[in-house]
Amino acid sequence: MEFFERFMIPHPSFLIYVSMVLIVLVSVALVAVITYFKLWGYLWREWITTVDHKKIGIMYLLMALLMLFRGGVDAIMLRYQLSMPENTFLDAQHYNEVFTTHGVVMILFMAMPFITFFFNYLVPLQIGARDVAFPRLNNLSFWLFFMGAMLFNLSFVVGGSPDAGWTSYFPLADNEFSTSVGTNYYMIAIQIAGIGTLMTGINFITTIMKMRAPGMTLFKMPMFTWSALIANLIIVFAFPVLTVALAMGTMDRLFDTKFFAIGNGGMDMLWANLFWVWGHPEVYILILPAFGIFSEVISTFARRNLYGYKSMVWSMIVISVFAFTVWTHHFFTMGQGAFTNSIFSITTMAIAVPTGVKIFNWLFTLYKGKIEFTTPMLYAVHFIPLFTLGGVTGVMLAMSAADYQYHNTMFLVAHFHNVIIPGVVYAMLAGFTFYWPKMFGFMLNEKIGKATVWVMSTGFLLAFMPMYITGLDGQARRMYTYSESTGFSTLNMVSFVGAGIMAVSFIMLVWNIWYSFKNSPRNIGSDPWDARGLEWATHTPIPAYNFAITPDVTDSTSEAFWDMKKKGTQIFKGEIKKIHMPNYSGVPFIMSCGFFLLGFSLIFSMWIPAIVGLIVILAGMAHRSFEKDHGYYIPEEDVKATEKQYEKRGAK
């Protein structure tokens, strides 16, 4: 019995027990459906072992949507708890667990896979490549991320969720104050997922630098590809810092080392510095690809090229450098002194300048454009004022003296969401709607889509604008309750209503997918938006090889497909030949299972299964080291036959 007691939830509640039952029922139902329809073989052959960047991208998308639901439920619980004074819906412990998991899930397991979906699906298409540089590594990256996410979410029902905040500051996160294994889950699950993300960064830098189409110089790359390159460079520089910090935190918890202890030679502020040296660049890892998506959408539906292409590129480069010079503004109040605070206050305000350049680039693109207000464009138009408001409050927080009033209040919570939701979530949903027909061959309903945008923005304003006011009035973040005498109750109820309206908008999004699947026409062609980039020069659905003939953009601009349509520029030169493609492999999935076993075992200090998991990982690495796998060729005649089928379908 003692062995099984370690897996028990230390702070059980009725909601957790209900969740356990639902998880079991949904899992059994899923296995039953897959078994009944005999889909195990199909899933293994076509998805689990795939190295096709498009399928891997779609798997990231499914993960992002699943985690959006999980994190959204957490958000509704948090807002309901604070909607009235002295509410008992959540006690202090469960409130701590919920806001901890909400932050981690939304940033690392929702936003990150959403942008990685776009990296995977779009970058090879935009640069005229047939896949990424390291296809098998791409598969391993996804499964490591997946296993890390699943391991983190397992904490909810096995062992207990982390409760030290999404930043997991020490000494709160050490064994003395976080006695359950929840923080072990935090350290190890994020570590596994982070290794996958670091591999993704290396893969896409190599892909963009080495696999661009003939004639595609750096300054002919589409704006999203530029944003992907810069974001992945930030990943490669920032994520090793997180890797080291998590390794040190894991050793503090499992082996009682003292890296982040208050005494014995440790330094608790070392964790805060290491975390934010990664954490603030992480914001730009998310926001720069979002800027790239908005750039693609705005230029398409303004019906003109992007204004100030080179200034857009250089502003992103400047942002990426400044991103590593502002981390201390996250703890102005924690004692590093006025001189240090002043330096980081200046750099924090300075980073607003290149961001402002991008806002004006988009506005000038819209100026005198023939604007078409589609659903993706509506997300982009709503983004500009809402994100600008978030940026302005960021400059307020950059003033270190004033930050003593703002810090650790709901004002800061409002600011962060005011940047991330319009800046990242709106971009992801705009890109999701924009590229949906290219992925699945039919359009999402425009009427429902536009209504969704307006409902979402209404809910967003109602949810977060009151927090600025309550924050300035002194409502602290991370407090699970408050008294009636504070006067916060009315505005907190408005916030809860706003959160509920945002939840309705996401239900509308799901309804739109279902409604469009049932009713939208399939004869939409390959370019339903009259778009501009190479990704739209492919067939729909996109064949495994992407392009029968590798594009040559020597005579084109950064909008090669637009040049072909409007100027007659030839981008497909030469003849169809046999095409080399990479083989699928199940080894990365098996290795990721080894990582899951190793991680789970370390969380509970079970050393024998941990060694077994490590052996599985090392065996997978050894297998790959000695494996002779040169891929395969699609014969010329098969490519020609596929192209003829697409031509006949297009003629109909």
pLDDT 10s digits, 529-561: 999 999 999 999 999 999 999 999 999 999 999
- What is the predicted pLDDT for the residue at 650? 63
Residue 244 CA to residue 450 CA, distance in Å, equals 44
Q: Residue type at 413?
A: V
- Dihedral sign (CA 598, 600, 606, 609): negative
Percent of the chain with pLDDT over 90: 93
Mean pLDDT of 275-302: 97
- What is the predicted pLDDT for the residue at 298? 97
pLDDT, tens digit, for every residue of 421-436? 999 999 999 999 999 9
**In the predicted structure, residue 190 carries a pLDDT above the cut 80:** yes
Mean pLDDT of 282-308: 97
**In the predicted structure, residue 613 carries a pLDDT above the cut 90:** yes
- What is the predicted pLDDT for the residue at 2? 64
Mean pLDDT of 56-74: 97
Percent of the chain with pLDDT over 70: 99
Kindly state the helix (H) or strand (E) to which residue 632 belongs, with its residue range: strand 632-634
CA distances from 609 to 145, 192, 569, 596, 613 (A): 21, 17, 60, 11, 6
Residue 122 CA to residue 401 CA, distance in Å, equals 44
Q: Which domains does the chain have, with CATH numbers?
A: 1-285 (1.20.210.10)
> pLDDT category, 4, cuts 50, 70, 90?
confident
- What is the predicted pLDDT for the residue at 652? 44
Residue 580 CA to residue 51 CA, distance in Å, equals 13
Mean pLDDT of 482-494: 96
Q: Are 130 and 53 in contact (CB under 8 A)?
A: no
- When the pLDDT of each residue in the chain is averaged and rounded to a whole number, the result is 95
> pLDDT category, 263, cuts 50, 70, 90?
confident
**In the predicted structure, residue 651 carries a pLDDT above the cut 80:** no
- What is the predicted pLDDT for the residue at 16? 87
pLDDT, tens digit, for every residue of 13-37? 888 888 889 889 999 999 999 999 9
Mean pLDDT of 615-631: 95
Q: Is the pTM of this model over 0.75?
A: yes
**In the predicted structure, residue 335 carries a pLDDT above the cut 80:** yes
Q: Are 193 and 149 in contact (CB under 8 A)?
A: yes
> pLDDT category, 647, cuts 50, 70, 90?
confident
